[in-house]
Amino acid sequence: MPDIISNLRSLNVLVLHPRDSDADDLIQQLNRIGCNVEALWLLPENLPPMVDIVFVEVKESIPPALAKLFSHRPDQRPTLIGLIGYENPSVLGCILELGVQAVISKPLRAFGVLSSMMMARHAWQERIEAAQNEEKLRQKLEHVHIITEAKFILMRHHGINEKDAYRVIRSHAMSRRSSTIEIANAIINADGLLSKLVVEKKDGRE
Amino acid sequence: MCAIDSRSPWKLGVLFSDTGPTAIIERSQKCGVLLAIHEINAAGGVAGRMVEPVLCDPGSVPSEYGRMAEKLIVEDHVRVLIGCYKSSARKEVLPVVERRNALFFYPTLYEGFEYSPNVIYGGACPNQNSVPLASYLLENYGNRFYFVGSDYIYPRESNRVMRNILRQGGGEVLGEVYLPFDGGPEMFGPVLADIAEKKPDVIFSTVVGEMTVAFYRAYHAAGHDALKVPIASLTTNEAEIGRIGAEAAAGNITAAPYFRSIGGEANRRFLENYERQFGKEIMATSCAEAAYFQTRMFAAALSKVGRLDTDLLRECLLGSTWDAPQGQVKIDPDNNHTYLHSRIARVDSHGEFIVQREVVRAVKPDPYLVTPDLNDRRLRLRKTAKS
């Protein structure tokens, strides 16, 4: 991920931490690294726009005002790095609950901030890529279902095998310049409509 | 030790090696410190008390620097130290001075990406020298480079930076080789053969220490002409050129904040005093100059603060300036590194560095810059009178 390293200076970083020497040291180190840094000593109503990384103090409970700053959707939340002064199970629980990608311990040392940012950014990017892949796979699975259903309809009506059914869908898609999924959906809709129209006749015959 | 004042002297721990692979350069750094102390004491010391160097020889072994720093602080009650050449040695000293809250001066160029509140960095980081060197070489020699380095952290990171800068200027890296510190002279053979075959325009060398002398000599002995295809370096200095000899050294290029051949009143005084103290044998180098001006800046801060207190000294040092032999320098309060000058010099037929180009004013240190910009206007070079 060399891009993460070379793009560090273009990141917008927000520090959510009470004003103290740890916060000062962190902000100075972020300035040395060369990021655009903004610090808020009190929790804001909303996150400022275009924030890439948020350093946030994590204590033994998460105030509701803090929790509501971050969306549950991975692509709509910034990279989070927790700053902790304690390592007890309450604090550890809050780290997990808030879903931070890296942790920095206090008292803060300048050494390590850069690596934490890197790893957090890396984990965040991987999470987003994973979410995007999940979405792609979900859609693909749905498409497979739809095409299978359309194929069965054609097989039933025309007495053809699965391979030929698919060929019919594909050639229709090509001649109409649309996708196989659109044709498949059209077949399913038409079949639903038709089967409703002929239901009584069929019933009568059987 | 001194009759002028009955009170005890101010101690300064000095961590430079007299033996081992980096002894040539570290000895000259030690001389820079001792010269500064000599001048300070000759002028009456600091607040009437002499400055006393506490010397030790880590023998170029990284772990020894850490062990001796600990000993200086715990047994000798030293609060301020100066020393180290290689990054691996500095990394050993760093946790010691942080734990004990001592103040540590590091008068050596290095690869950047570090900050400690307990360290004042006096050497160049890559943004200060690499860009001027690359633009000079691209303009005057060509764009086909060959990298040769000693096998440790500084060469690898320097080469990463150089490769990035060269890419911006359409340069090309034909080879990249790292040589072990414990290798014999025969290890140069395959490298020089590869260079002869690939015919680069420039060799960019990050070979350091004793190996430098052997490498430059081997390059010359293999029939390479440095006047046409020079070895360019950020570290090779007067002391090493002296050992290499004028014939093998002529034509090669170094970028550094200081060369002893530059003009200026501060440099004239520095060289006069240096030669009076140490003779012509141990040559003044850019690292010696850094050790010298850092020691002088420490003493100036101490005279203001009046005690060996790390936090007070740091407060006083950050943002302070000094008329160093290289010109005015300033400690950057943002990152504890130093604004330095940047010069490109070529060795002439007498084995003396002649400055060809220099930046107009001291360059701000940017230790966390991942990729320096080849076209950075602040790093524009101007020709010098002698070039």
Look at residue B371 in the predicted model and tell me its pLDDT. Answer: 86
Residue B113 has pLDDT above 70, yes or no: yes
Map out the domains of chain A as residue ranges: 2-133, 135-205
Query: Is residue B201 over pLDDT 90?
Result: yes
pLDDT top residue among A199 and B126: B126
Question: Band of the pLDDT at A206, cuts 50, 70, 90?
Answer: very low
Can you give the pLDDT at residue A200? Answer: 55
Q: CATH number of the domain that B269 lies in?
A: 3.40.50.2300
pLDDT digits (tens, 9 = 90+) for B216-261: 999 999 999 999 999 999 999 998 999 999 999 999 999 999 999 9
Backbone angles phi, psi at B340, to 5 degrees: -130, 160
In the predicted structure, residue A127 carries a pLDDT above the cut 90 = yes
Q: Which residues contact B163 (CB under 8 A, 6 or more apart)?
A: B147, B173
CA-based max dimension of chain A: 87
Q: Are A32 and B115 in contact (CB under 8 A)?
A: yes
Same domain, B218 and B365: yes
Cα separation values, B273 from A100, B17, B120, B297, Å: 59, 22, 25, 17
Count CA within 13 A, CB hemisphere, residue B344: 30
| Chain A residues within an 8 Å CB radius of B113 | 114
For chain B, what is the domain count? 2
Q: Is the pLDDT of residue A205 over 90?
A: no
The reported pLDDT for the residue numbered A192 is 87
Question: Amino acid identity, residue B51?
Answer: V
Would the CB atoms of B368 and A114 count as touching at under 8 Å? yes
Kindly state whether residues B32 and B166 are assigned to the same domain: no
B21 at A interface, C-beta within 8 A: no
Average pLDDT over residues A167-172: 93
**Does residue B295 form part of some domain?**
yes
Q: How far is CA A7 from CA A51, B102, B374, in A?
A: 14, 35, 17
- Closest C-alpha among A89, A28, A94, A26 to residue A59: A94
Give the DSSP H/E element, type plus range, for residue B42: helix B23-42
Cis ω before B58 (30° cut-off from 0): no
Class of domain A2-133: alpha beta
Q: Are residues B91 and B213 in the same domain?
A: no
> What does the mean pLDDT of chain A come to?
91
B175-190 pLDDT, tens digit per residue, is: 999 999 888 888 999 9
Domain co-membership, B358 together with B228: yes
How far is A110 from chain B, CA to nearest CA, in Å? Answer: 7
Name the band, by pLDDT with cuts 50, 70 and 90, for residue B16.
very high
Whether domain A135-205 has CATH 3.30.70.920: the reply is: no
Cβ–Cβ below 8 Å for B370 and A32: no
> Looking at the structure, do residues B120 and B139 belong to the same domain, yes or no?
no
Owning domain of residue B363: 126-261+341-383
Search chain B and give the residue with CA nearest A27: B334
* pLDDT greater than 70 at residue A139: yes
Whether residue B139 is predicted with pLDDT greater than 90 in this model: the reply is yes
Please, where are the H alpha helices in B202-285?
Answer: 210-221, 238-244, 246-249, 265-278
Instruction: Give the nearest partner residue to A110 out of B115, B370, B371, using CB atoms.
Output: B115
Nearest CA in chain A to B98: A109
CB B209 within 8 A of CB B22: yes
Residue B42, in any domain of the structure: yes
The pLDDT value given to residue A198: 59
Same domain, B93 and B108: yes
Provide the sign of the torsion angle of the four alpha carbons B98, B103, B106, B110, taken in this order: positive
pLDDT in tens, B95-105: 999 999 999 99
**Which site among B91, B101, B115 would you substitute to test the A interface, given the most A Cβ atoms closer than 10 Å to its Cβ?**
B115
Query: What is the pLDDT of chain B when averaged over all its residues?
Result: 93
B254 and B275 inside one domain: no
Structure confidence at residue B1 (pLDDT) = 43
Quick one: pLDDT at residue B381?
A: 87
B270, B164: one domain: no
- Report percent pLDDT > 90 for chain B: 86
In this predicted structure, what is the pLDDT of residue B379? 84
Domain co-membership, B203 together with B350: yes
Give contacts of B366 with chain A, Cβ < 8 Å: 34
Nearest Cα residue to B154 out of B186, B111, B120, B205: B111
pLDDT at B55: 97
What's the whole-number mean pLDDT along residues B78-82?
Answer: 98
* Shared-domain flag, residues B246 and B363: yes
For testing contact with chain A, the best of B314, B332, B368, B373 (most A CBs within 10 A): B368
pLDDT computed for residue B327 by the predictor: 96
Which of A8, A28, A111 is facing B370, going by the closest CB pair?
Answer: A8
| Same-domain status, B226 and B276 | no
Same domain for B228 and B370?
yes
Instruction: State pLDDT tens for residues A30-45.
Output: 999 999 999 999 999 9
pTM of the model: 0.86
pLDDT band at B3 (very low <50, low <70, confident <90, very high): very low
Min Cα–Cα distance to chain B from A10, Å? 12
> Is B235:B102 a contact under the CB 8 Å cutoff?
no
- Asked, for residue B103, whether it belongs to a domain, the answer is yes
